[in-house]
Amino acid sequence: MPSILLTSLNARYIHASLGLRYLLSNMGDLKSRTRLLEFTINQRPLDIAEKILATGADIIGFGVYIWNIEQTTQVVRIIKQVSPQTRIILGGPEVSYETEQQEIVQLADYTITGQADHRFAELCFELLSQQAPSETIIHALPPALKQLSFPYREYTDEDVANRVIYVEASRGCPFKCEFCLSALDKTAVPFELEAFLQQMDSLYQRGVRHFKFVDRTFNLKAATTTRILDFFLQRLDEKLFLHFELIPDHLPDTLKSRIVQFPDNSLQFEIGIQTFNPEVQALISRKQDNDKTRDNIRWLKENTHAHLHTDLIIGLPGETVDSFAAGFDQLAALQPHEIQVGILKRLRGTPIIRHSETFAMRYNPLPPYNILSNRDIDFSTMQDLNRFARYWDMLGNSGRFQHTLPQLLGDQPFANFMGFSQWLYQSTDQTHRFSLDRLFVLLHSWLIQQTHTDQDSIEAALLADHQRSGLKGTPGFLQPSETSMSAQPKGQAALRQKRHS
């Protein structure tokens, strides 16, 4: 009997594709002939193709995203070379727009653009009934959410035990931020709330304790958000962890009264600031009250146990280095737990492309299509900012340098960290693969040279963070040994030797 395989290459094993599980749950009469098989982008395309072909599937549906497009293209190319009769159907945001430009679309038999929850099953039925459509690009209309079968039963016991469980209480977004694919949505549409909560209860009874909501605007409607938070407050235990994406300037008192009830390590909010520059916000059609945003972040930090993950974007049209620096300093002053410094990407289909000529936007032609330069930031400076983002994630967001970071940032967080970032790259020619102990040595070298803080205060802060990090033994920055000397930038070993001689 002909069989169907649903597959995708996830960024990491811990991730589980919610989209594939929607497709599987909505296969109807074909569900018994359909199986799901996931891989990661770290596996070799040749090995993935071998495992896929070993299933003997006649139809293969691939979920294609910005993070897996290159590897998935290689897998599809191999499968079509070895087994040209195998029919391949593509879906996902990366192949829903600008399809004529993509090699993978030319290789595949069919591509479904848009939300394929129902259309994939319909296409499989047509193919198996010898009624193949003549069009190879099939545009799917958004399904009525009430007619969708929920995907949550498709999470296996292995998923529950080992992976992040993604859920959604709504689809779409009412906002029109031009860098985001959600700008193409007409509005946000909720699932029927009580039916959704029954699904969440079923997951909870199966042992799920980590729920990651993928809703773009979780707090759009306070009554719905309150009901969901109440649901989890009634099931609160020491293992429960919830992740939500919040609209930054919308936090009514009814939500605040629930948020304060969650204990430490149970709640994480992803808060997309993107830019504090009102002129840039207007250019990209982003509506955001900056005063309310700052007030809400400050309130969350001071009054709740929620972990605050905030986002800024480098490279937006009209955003200069100075205006980005001002925004970074504003956000750093609010002291969220994380500031994710992202680099603008030109996602296929997003309206941001309308600014390309006016602002001389130049993007990487290869995934992830990151900005390379624009009218206000040249390529060399953009590379500096890329390294700033990488090093900030490594040091500022790691949580390992809570005592040292204030000394590094001082009263000019962006300028001071950029100075350290430029020095670090010039000294090491590295952006990855720093050992933790070596980071302490490098931080010590920079702080001793470049700050006016006394050496004892610097070393006390570094030592406190070193002890918190779990590293054993005497820190390298306190040992003028050959090992610690070689871990320091050229010229700094001699300086350290002299200081301790």
> SS in 3 state form for 45-76?
HHHHHHHHHHCCCCEEEEECCCCCHHHHHHHH
Higher-confidence residue of 472 and 8: namely 8
Q: Does 316 score more than 60 pLDDT?
A: yes
Q: Does 373 score more than 50 pLDDT?
A: yes
Q: Does 111 score more than 90 pLDDT?
A: yes
Of the candidates 209, 321, 337, which has an alpha carbon nearest to the alpha carbon of residue 269? 337
pLDDT band at 434 (very low <50, low <70, confident <90, very high): very high
pLDDT in the model for residue 481 = 47
Cα separation, 24 vs 478, in Å, equals 57
pLDDT tens across 151-178, in order? 999 999 999 999 999 999 999 999 999 9
Domain total in the chain = 3
> Does 448 lie in the same domain as 332?
no
Residue 274 lies in a domain: yes
**Is 207:165 a contact under the CB 8 Å cutoff?**
no
pLDDT band at 480 (very low <50, low <70, confident <90, very high): low
> Does 485 lie in the same domain as 442?
yes
Give the domain range for residue 234: 164-377
- Kindly report the CATH number assigned to the domain that includes residue 123: 3.40.50.280
Of the candidates 268, 96, 285, 93, which has an alpha carbon nearest to the alpha carbon of residue 183? 285
> Does 193 lie in the same domain as 317?
yes
Residue 159 lies in a domain: no
Residue 152 lies in a domain: no
- Kindly report the CATH number assigned to the domain that includes residue 294: 3.80.30.20
Q: Does 145 score more than 70 pLDDT?
A: yes
Q: Does 221 score more than 90 pLDDT?
A: yes
> Does 209 lie in the same domain as 107?
no
| pTM for the structure as a whole | 0.92
> Does 409 lie in the same domain as 372?
no
> Does 457 lie in the same domain as 331?
no
* Measured distance between the N- and C-terminal CA atoms of the chain, rounded to whole angstroms: 80
Whose tokens are 């980005």? That residue is 324
pLDDT band at 32 (very low <50, low <70, confident <90, very high): very high
> Does 236 lie in the same domain as 203?
yes
Cα separation, 55 vs 37, in Å, equals 10
> Does 455 lie in the same domain as 361?
no
Q: Does 333 score more than 90 pLDDT?
A: yes
